Amino acid sequence: MAVVQEKELLCKDFLSRPKQLLIDGKWVDAVSGKTFETVNPATEEVLCRVAEGGKEDVDKAVKAARRAFEVGPWRKMSTAERARLMLKLADLIEKHADELAQIETLDNGKPITESRYVDVPQTVETFRYYAGWATKLEGETINANSNFFTYTLREPVGVVGQIIPWNFPMLMLAWKWGPALAAGNTIVLKPAEQTPLSALRIGELALEAGFPEGVINIVTGFGANSAGEAISHHMDIDKVAFTGEDKTGKLIVQASTTNLKRVSLELGGKAPNIVFADADIDAAVKGAITGIFFNQGQVCCAGSRLFLEKNIHDEFMAKLTERVAKLRQGDGLDDKTRIGPQVSKEQQERVLSYINIAKGEGASLACGGEAPAELKKGYFVKPTIFTGVNNDMRIAQEEVFGPVLAVIPFSNMEDVAEQANKTTFGLSGAVWTRDVKKAHKFASHIKAGTVWVNCYNVFDPAVPFGGYKMSGYGRELGKHSIELYTNIKSVWVNMQD
């Protein structure tokens, strides 16, 4: 296997350095002195140990963030200076792109071609996009009553807690830091326990870029009964942004009642990917593969329900399974790998258990359905496709968060229109057709925050992303994320003599 040799490992130095918490501009151990392991899911080897922050560390980080927000140089800094810091961070990430891509692949398992050509460049672009926003925030004057001069100020929310998942560790950080920093907030970030490393390396680069102390704080550690919960309950955090599972999202909302902090949520999905008989079938086959197997299916907007019009079903399946059989699975560091391991043993087991559930429900296994026997180490699951799925089955309703596709045949427009929205989630959906009218009708019909027409998984920092229904609320990316991180203040000035 042409896996990167140790001498080519650009992140060797980083891996050997201590992994501490970033609080108030300094790297410090957890108050408890505890650490935890982070593992390479392709080899099951421990990459390094990382400080395990808890409640006391979150308290320290919040104090630092509060001070930085209220009295630090951050508050007085011009927006142009803020933008320059963000651009500097983007440049530093770009400069260290290969090292960061390796860190992401080692910690998460994703193919290096994805880390290198998707995660890192999109992280850079997100920081550049939001750096542009820093200088463009405005209030307005309102002609309400000539006796008063009335205007609005757009102000930062304050100290923001950000809790992110393991599927796109670096990119989720950028989606959250970008708008928060552009708007002048200060940050306490908790990365996922499975993938803390890229955040720590970007934390080093943020210090190098010159962010004032306390503006960016990183507390690695666990969620439940620990750092994550301390953030969600904290009385001095003004807003929490969360990406993760819907069950955790509900806990975050409940915890927010302590001080009624603002909450935004990006949760799961069970996206319908609909192919009509009049579509470009070869393009739709490729789109179905991107839709479900990108990032090993660990994507909240994955096209996990593939609806095929009955008269193209067999032709489509023949082409799909032929292509899927060629997807090369292995260690993400090998640049020929297209499918890496799941992020952890727990996720591998969860995916395999859903495969058993689907079999038990009577779905037919078209390919995959097990861990690859030839890969002795690592948390791999073969790309798996079930046909003959009914939309009411658990495999069509529950989020697997793995490389498992449920194929559901449909007979006509009305039939698929009803089934597509029959889900508790509403993050995304896609439709493949050459009929422009049908495409627009479905774009408006699908109850989801993003609809792709004749494409899948296309993103840009300028285009909003977020959920309907139980996929969460609030929109990240674009100008909408600025709303999440700012408050509007109305000022009335009496002009009467």
CB-based closest residue to ligand NAP: 223
Residue owning tokens 């050459």 = 434
| Per CB under 6 A, 373 contacts ligand NAP | no
**Shortest distance (Å) from residue 271 CB to ligand NAP:** 11
CA atoms within 13 A on the CB side of 20: 16
What is the widest separation between alpha-carbon atoms in the chain?
A: 86
| Beta carbons within 10 angstroms of residue 479's beta carbon | 13
| Per CB under 6 A, 248 contacts ligand NAP | yes
CB 211 within 8 A of CB 203: no
Site for ligand NAP in 138-197 (CB under 6 A): 163-167, 190, 192-193
Closer to ligand NAP at the Cβ: 27 or 222? 222
Using the rule CB under 6 A, give the single segment among 211-219, 264-272, 366-374, 448-456 that binds ligand NAP. 264-272
Of the residues 251, 271, 275, 389, which one makes contact with ligand NAP according to CB under 6 A: 251
**Shortest distance (Å) from residue 477 CB to ligand NAP:** 10
Residues in CB range of 74: below 8 A, 6 or more apart: 68, 82, 184, 186, 212, 214, 215
Query: How many residues bind ligand NAP, per CB under 6 A?
Result: 27
CB 35 within 8 A of CB 52: yes
Of the residues 161, 178, 268, 341, which one makes contact with ligand NAP according to CB under 6 A: 268
Site for ligand NAP in 217-246 (CB under 6 A): 222-224, 228-229, 232, 243-245
Amino acid at 33: G
Nearest to 115 by CA among 269, 296, 288: 296
Residues with catalytic roles: 266
Burial grade of 215 (CB within 10 A; 0-12, 13-18, 19 or more): buried
CB 325 within 8 A of CB 367: yes
Closer to ligand NAP at the Cβ: 103 or 252? 252
d(CA 68, CA 211): 11
Using the rule CB under 6 A, give the single segment among 70-78, 261-269, 308-316, 481-489 that binds ligand NAP. 261-269
Of the residues 399, 402, 428, 456, which one makes contact with ligand NAP according to CB under 6 A: 399
Nearest to 476 by CA among 101, 180, 62: 180
Closer to ligand NAP at the Cβ: 48 or 317? 48
| Per CB under 6 A, 401 contacts ligand NAP | yes
Site for ligand NAP in 193-222 (CB under 6 A): 193, 222
What is the contact surface with ligand NAP in residues (CB under 6 A)? 163-167, 190, 192-193, 222-224, 228-229, 232, 243-245, 248, 251-252, 266-268, 300, 399, 401, 427
